[in-house]
Amino acid sequence: MSVQFDQDQAFALLREAGAYLQGHFLLTTGRHSDQFFLLARLTERPQWLMPWAQELARRLEPYQVSTVVGPAVGGIIPAFAVAGFWPGSRMLFAEKDSGGTMTFRRGFRVEPGEGVVVIEDAVTTGGSVAQVIEAVKAQGGRVQAVGALVDRSQGPLRFTEPLVSLLRTGPIPHWDPADCPLCQEGVALTRPKS
């Protein structure tokens, strides 16, 4: 299967997978939106995810790293899939400790001076990615780049490393419930992640 990953095609693939939804959604922030990305609908199908992972691996090849780190939970599957395209690579994941900070457990180690890319499913503010970068640096590793299936950022990110993504969404509207036009039209509200 040949996938070009221009914006239109990427949106079409996500829509087909049920990973890009249009409707009336309650966000975790409490605000409402008419669009929602549910990337588990893509990552649950290995044969759908693999072309995305292959393209992300190709775009990250110039950084010449062989260690991939994903933030749990959303980053684990795409990080593993990208690492699969690099012979001899390792894939580690960071997860929240009891205080809610991303950290390495399970004996995962980054060697001093080791080059790393961090892979996330979707980046909004980059908060989780920034914590993973700190965890890598704490072990002496060097994060060369961040890869994401979807970049839905609408402002400055919480990390400064280069971000390589396959789809940039552009601005996605969201409203306070009191100002939500979909509420005013009486469109049923859905909680897509529940």
Contact residues toward Zn ion (CB under 5 A) are: 32, 180, 182-183
- Return the DSSP state at 145: E
Strand partners, 36: 21
Of the pair 160, 190, the CB lying nearest Zn ion is at 190
Taking the complex as a whole, the smallest distance from the CB of residue 194 to Zn ion amounts, in Å, to 16
CA distance 145 to 130: 12
Q: The dihedral of CA 7, 125, 21, 41: what is its sign?
A: positive
Of the pair 50, 182, the CB lying nearest Zn ion is at 182
Of the pair 69, 180, the CB lying nearest Zn ion is at 180
Taking the complex as a whole, the smallest distance from the CB of residue 191 to Zn ion amounts, in Å, to 12
Looking at the chain, the number of H-run helices and the number of E-run strands are 6, 9
Taking the complex as a whole, the smallest distance from the CB of residue 142 to Zn ion amounts, in Å, to 44
Of the pair 1, 178, the CB lying nearest Zn ion is at 178
Q: Which residue is nearest to Zn ion (CB)?
A: 180
Q: Which three-class secondary structure state does DSSP give residue 133?
A: helix
CA distance 134 to 182: 40
Smallest Cα–Cα separation from 78: which of 110, 107, 112, 40? 40
Taking the complex as a whole, the smallest distance from the CB of residue 185 to Zn ion amounts, in Å, to 9
| Contact predicate 161/144, CB 8 Å | yes
| Element holding 95 (H helix, E strand) | strand 90-96
Of the pair 150, 180, the CB lying nearest Zn ion is at 180
Taking the complex as a whole, the smallest distance from the CB of residue 15 to Zn ion amounts, in Å, to 21
